[in-house]
Chains A and B, each alone.
Chain A
Amino acid sequence: MSAQFITSVVTLVVIAKLIMVSCAYLILLERKVAAWTQDRIGPNRVGLSFGVLPIRHHCWGAGQPLADGIKLFLKEDYTPPGVDRGLFLLAPVIVVVPAMLGWAVIPWGGYLGWGDSVLHVTAAPIHIGVIYMLAIGSLAVYGVVLGGYASNNKYSFLGGLRATAQMLSYEIPQGLCVLTVILMHGSARADMLVNFQANAVWNAVYQPVLAVIFFTCILAECNRAPFDLAEAEQELVGGYHTEYSSMKWALFFMGEYMHMITGAAFFTLLFLGGWDLPLLSEPLVGGIALVLLKTGVFIGKVALLLFLMIWIRWTLPRFRFDQLMRLAWRGLIPITLLVMLMTGVMVFLQQPAWVALVGNGLIALLAVWLGPRIPQGAAINRRVPLPGSRFCPPKPVNPTS
């Protein structure tokens, strides 16, 4: 029973509980932000009294998540005939569990000095933490596709298919972004990547194009608007979770928010310097107070990113499916490949890191200039006048004959 193991387990329990509670309040935040965006008030009736406690104030709707949870527990759960029962039950589990597993390798609070040993404030300080996060993150696609497949509903099936194509397509630029960051620093350990950024400048400053692309990919991986084609209400009823009800549906919902938190933490780790703040980076190893402060900074950055995600959802309209695929395959992948090659050359020539910023700027300019100039000829469809169709009117009868 080493000290590291005890630290890991304590971190695991504290962080998991913290995120589960914040997951519920994230839903309240989402509804509040939606209301503010649309000039409404939002949920404000359910206070913390629940008709029992002597609290007169409405608490700005703070009791809403609890009331929602109780409602979802008490809802009737039914399974339509003809579904694949095993997979139907398995799908929400596969959505939730990988989203939680991602938190295991995130260095929430840097290092804890205990006696003369240095302990990682991480649930599992493994050597390939970043690659582990990417691998676990891509498991979530199974949940969505199984949910769509098992439901025996045509809309669910279509939603599952769309979700698969979307998540697969956006995983490639995401993987390339992670690869470029590893290439820059020469390490795949999560805590080492944060240390590098704490010693210099955050990666988002050196690689802004990469940061924007990575954030886009996270939105697409979480099925968040403007990439929520898998559950587009207007086209697919509810998408892959049409047939789900009660707690199983709630698990899908929770999985989405947990996935958002995982994605935001991943972004903070790779590009926003983890627990680092400009005045706070100097003592790398500290006591419990410093660790708590660093954890607070990390969670604060994650919260800002989550607010940004919600804000984007209620501001931008949804993509069309061909636009979505074009953005991934013809927009993000070539740009990320270019940035990766640029970073590789930069590291090979042993240039300082600010060269990456210049390179990013040049690549962004190139993309903006070249984008509209790429010929799209082969993708244009002309109307084919098939005989008998309404586009091919019958030949006029010659009146003289």
Chain B
Amino acid sequence: MNQLLSIAIFVGFGVGFVFFNLLVGRLVRPSLSNAEKEAIYECGEPTIGTSWVQFDLRFYIVALFYLIFDVELALIYPWAIVYREIPGEALVLGTPFLGIIIIGYAYEWYSGSLDWVRSTINTSYKGTAGIDMASLARRDPEVLEEQAAGQA
């Protein structure tokens, strides 16, 4: 109980420190705002629309992988603490668990989800009418140029 109280005191200390600083700043500083000064700074250009737009889906995938890994890790900590006392049972119970993480990780690697720069080879994007990006990306550009020259 006392331990949690100490942590609670620490939280209060931290929050108090932060808000004290903000309050003192508010009391002493000037406030002479105008529209130019308050404009959003994007390299001096006038802003276009809000910034709350759809972002790249790769960030979402990273967050998803993190979630899977971290939940499994959080479940493994108690296992690691008792491992020294009951190594036999811990090994039997922990191996499938760790195996799932490692197999999942190997699949992520194999499926190319860990690449930040995605290959066009795996894309399903069709581009403009009648163009298959994936099959074009598989071929050598020099061969394609030769083909184009041959058709001409």
Contact = CB atoms under 8 A, between A and B. Distances in A.
Interface in B39-87: 39-43, 47, 50-53, 55-56, 58-59, 62-63, 65-66, 69-70, 73, 76-77, 80-85, 87
Given A12-B9, A169-B62, A186-B85, A76 B121 contact: no
Contacts of A230: none
Contacts of B53: 154
Interface in B123-152: 127-128, 131, 133, 136-141, 144-145, 148, 151-152
A379 interface: yes
A360 B38 CA distance: 55
Contacts of B80: 179, 182-183
Nearest to B115: A379
Contacts of A337: 101-102, 105
Interface residues of A, number: 93
B122 to A, nearest CB: 7
B76 A179 contact: yes
Given A78-B38, A325-B116, A378-B121, A179 B51 contact: no
B41 A396 contact: no
Contacts of A395: 148, 151-152
Interface stretch (A41-49, A94-102, A291-299, A301-309): A94-102
B18 A237 contact: no
A248 to B, nearest CB: 7
Contacts of A154: 42, 47, 51, 53
Interface in A264-288: none
A237 to B, nearest CB: 6
A322 interface: yes
B41 A237 contact: yes
Interface in B1-36: 2-7, 9-11, 13-15, 17-19, 21-22, 24-26, 28-33
Contact of B105 (A72, A153, A333, A381): A333
A89 B22 CA distance: 10
A346 B68 CA distance: 27
B52 to A, nearest CB: 7
Contacts of B138: 382
Contact of A82 (B2, B22, B28, B40): B40
Contacts of B136: 384-385
Contacts of B102: 337
Interface string A230-272: 0000000100001100111011000000000000000000000
A179 B78 CA distance: 10
Interface in A77-123: 77-82, 89, 92-93, 96-97, 100-101, 103-104, 123
Interface string A368-401: 0000000000111111111100001001101000
A125 interface: yes
B32 to A, nearest CB: 7
B38 A187 contact: no
Contacts of A12: 6, 9-10, 13
B29 A126 contact: no
Contacts of B118: 379
Contacts of A165: 58-59, 62-63
Nearest to A11: B6
Contacts of B112: 378-379
B11 A97 contact: yes
Contacts of A175: 70, 73
Given A157-B51, A157-B55, A247-B25, A321 B116 contact: yes
Given A76-B31, A171-B70, A248-B22, A381 B137 contact: yes
Interface in A322-364: 322, 325-326, 329-330, 333-334, 337, 341, 344, 347-348
Given A74-B28, A123-B6, A382-B141, 16 more contacts: A78-B33, A96-B14, A100-B13, A100-B17, A131-B77, A151-B40, A153-B51, A154-B42, A183-B83, A187-B81, A248-B22, A347-B83, A347-B87, A381-B117, A382-B120, A395-B151
Lowest 10 A-B CB distances belong to which pairs?
A: A186-B84, A247-B25, A322-B116, A124-B6, A168-B66, A97-B14, A325-B116, A100-B14, A154-B51, A182-B80
29 contacts: A20-B17, A76-B30, A77-B25, A82-B50, A97-B14, A100-B10, A104-B7, A157-B51, A165-B58, A169-B62, A175-B73, A186-B82, A242-B41, A250-B21, A251-B21, A321-B116, A326-B115, A329-B65, A344-B83, A347-B83, A347-B84, A379-B117, A381-B137, A382-B138, A382-B140, A385-B141, A387-B128, A395-B151, A398-B152
Interface of A: 2, 4-5, 8-9, 12, 16, 20, 72-82, 89, 92-93, 96-97, 100-101, 103-104, 123-126, 128, 131, 149, 151-157, 161, 164-165, 168-169, 171-172, 175-176, 179, 182-183, 185-188, 237, 242-243, 246-248, 250-251, 321-322, 325-326, 329-330, 333-334, 337, 341, 344, 347-348, 378-387, 392, 395-396, 398
